[in-house]
Structure 1
């Protein structure tokens, strides 16, 4: 994982040297996460925090690579067996960001996540892929707020549950994906 983080930093540094304008910043916010495909999964509130670079590549178009710690998961409510699945990731989204006006932006792009800890699941996958769609509002030149939805693309664990016996047993066929709605605030230097 150290190699991946170093590679992300190298990409940011290279892009910075070749871009017209680059600004760095920090961001954090509230995650409302769930696990798509998981039966009886309810939203779990978590958080995210990290840094980013906003790299101008052409007029109003920017590339924004990020490095984020993200607390995700879901509350699972099986009869007689309620529990919370906690999944902590280091996420590396890279979004294309377009300034519609000086204040309003839209963004979209892929994300790769690396599982750093989990609670209450077995057979979890250590790499997670997703796709981000979002929008933002620049309150000032340095401070902005945003909303982003991450659509999970990869199966994050193999679950099994025996409905007849009301306990865990036979493997289920559906995929389980991380889906996260994030409300964030960011400060650019």
Structure 2
């Protein structure tokens, strides 16, 4: 819970600090919503990709004519499927706080990179025998690095793509090789 509050505090302070910077630069802060498809997995020999959803809110805060900071607050459905038994799924649901630095190559097209702080809200394995809670085996916090791009078509509507590679081990008390999340996201965004 402390990490969730810390992540939210970082996102809110980034938004308020950047709003002041944007006022100084007379560039407007834009708020928006985004949603789309996650294709996620973990780096385990018996894991394969699983589809999920993401969605949430963002603030796009210009800090220069071509640069902006975009803190986000997202629901992120991640996890993996078992390679041998595709009906066995690891469902890891997070509240994620990415803080992306964006560079506008063109006014409509940007590239981005930055950290993502994720706080687990659900950790379960689902299979033919039912659903089991595995929160004692998977950590409640995940840290990743994201790299992406987006294109705004018209009137604030755009398409986005991002890859987030997990940096931290998601297994509690793991003495073997680190198990990390990875997720590819593709979706739509709308700036108000």
Q: TM-score, normalised to structure 1's length?
A: 0.86
Counterpart of 2:33 in structure 1 is: 26
Deviation at 1:5, TM superposition (A): 2.0
Structure 2 CA distance for aligned equivalents of residues 100 and 186 of structure 1? 18
1:137-148 mapped onto 2 (5 Å cutoff)? 137-148=151-162
Q: How many Å separate the matches in 2 of 1:101 and 1:4?
A: 31
Structure 1 residue 8: Cα displacement: 2.1
Contact 2:81 2:89 in 1 (8 A): yes
Q: Secondary structure at the match of 1:58?
A: coil
- What are the Cα deviations for residues 129-154 of structure 1, in whole angstroms up to 9, with x where unaligned? 00000011111140110110001101
**Distance of aligned partners of 1:75 and 1:81 in 2 relative to their CA distance in 1, 3 Å threshold:** closer
Out of 36, 42, 45, the position equivalent to 2:48 is: 42
From 89, 114, 118, give the equivalent of 1:113.
118
Contact 2:11 2:99 in 1 (8 A): no
User: Which residue number in structure 1 is paired with residue 80 of structure 2?
Assistant: 74
Q: Matches of 2:101 and 2:9 in 1, distance apart?
A: 21
Q: Say which is worse superposed, 8-17 or 139-148, in terms of deviation.
A: 8-17
CA contact (8 A) 1:134 1:149 kept: yes
Unaligned runs of 5+ in 1: 160-170
In the TM superposition, residue 11 of structure 1 has moved relative to its aligned partner by 2.6
Do the aligned residues in 1 keep the contact of 2:30 with 2:191 (CA within 8 Å)?
A: yes
Q: CA offsets per residue over residues 94-123 of structure 1, 9 Å max, x none?
A: 111011012211001111100111102441
Does 1:131 find its partner at 2:138? Answer: no
TM-score by length of 2: 0.85
Residue 178, structure 1, aligned to residue 181, structure 2: yes
Q: Which has the higher strand share?
A: 1
What secondary structure does 2:88 align onto? strand
Large movers: runs of 4+ above 3 Å: none
